[in-house]
Amino acid sequence: MEKQAILSLVTEKANNWLNSPIDDETRDAIRKMMDENEEELIESFYRDLEFGTGGLRGIMGVGTNRMNIYTVGMATQGLCNYLRKQFGDREQISMAIAHDCRNNSPLFAKITAQICVANGIRAYLFEALRPTPELSFAIRRLGCQSGVVVTASHNPKEYNGYKVYWEDGGQIIHPHDTNIIHEVQRIRSIGEVQFEGDRDTVITLGEEMDARYIEEVARLSLNPELIRDHSDLKIVYTPIHGTGVKLVPRALERLGFKNIFHVPEQDITDGNFPTVVSPNPEEPAALELALKKADEVGADLVMGTDPDADRVGIAVRNDRGEMVLLNGNQTASLLTYYLLSQWKERGKLTGKEFVAKTIVTTGLMAEMADSYHVPCYDVLTGFKYIADLIKRKEGEMTFIGGGEESYGFMIGDFVRDKDAVAACAMIAELAAWARSREKNIYDVLLDIYQEFSFYLESITNVVRKGKSGAEEIQQMMDRFRKDPPASMNGSEVTVIHDYLEQETLERASGKRTKIDLPKSNVLQFLLKDGSKVSVRPSGTEPKIKFYFSVREKLESREKYGAVKQELEARIEGMKNALKLI
Task: Please determine whether the domains at 47-205 and 212-451 fall in the same fold group of CATH.
Answer: yes
Classify domain 454-577 at the CATH class level: alpha beta
Cβ(259)–Cβ(233) under 8 Å? Answer: yes
377 forms bridges with which residues in the sheet? 356
DSSP letter (8 states) at residue 81: H
In CATH, what is the architecture of 212-451? 3-Layer(aba) Sandwich (3.40)
- 142-170: b or e for each residue (b if 16 or more CB lie within 10 Å)? bebbbbbbbbbbbbebebbbbbbbbbbbb
Cβ(235)–Cβ(301) under 8 Å? Answer: yes
* 153 a catalytic residue: yes
Cβ(381)–Cβ(404) under 8 Å? Answer: yes
Cβ(412)–Cβ(399) under 8 Å? Answer: yes
Q: What is the mean pLDDT of each run of 10 residues along the chain (581 residues)?
A: 82 95 97 94 88 78 96 95 96 98 98 98 98 98 98 93 97 90 88 94 98 98 97 98 98 98 98 96 97 98 98 97 98 98 98 98 98 98 95 97 97 98 98 98 98 97 87 93 94 97 97 96 97 90 93 97 97 94 69
- Cα 367-372-376 angle, rounded to 5 deg: 50
DSSP letter (8 states) at residue 351: S
Cβ(498)–Cβ(505) under 8 Å? Answer: yes
pLDDT at 290: 98
| Residue ranges of domains in the chain | 1-44, 47-205, 212-451, 454-577
Q: How far apart are CA 520 and CA 537, in angstroms?
A: 10
pLDDT at 49: 79
pTM tops 0.75, yes or no: yes
Q: Nearest Cα to 121, choosing from 203, 239, 39?
A: 203
Residues 332-377 have pLDDT tens digits of: 999 999 999 999 999 999 999 999 999 999 999 999 999 999 999 9
pLDDT at 51: 61
Superfamily for domain range 47-205? Alpha-D-Glucose-1,6-Bisphosphate, subunit A, domain 3 (3.40.120.10)
Q: How far apart are CA 19 and CA 39, in angstroms?
A: 22
pLDDT at 147: 98
Type of residue found at 540: T
Q: 44 burial class (0-12, 13-18, 19+ CB within 10 angstroms)?
A: buried
Marked catalytic residue, from 44, 94, 136, 153: 153
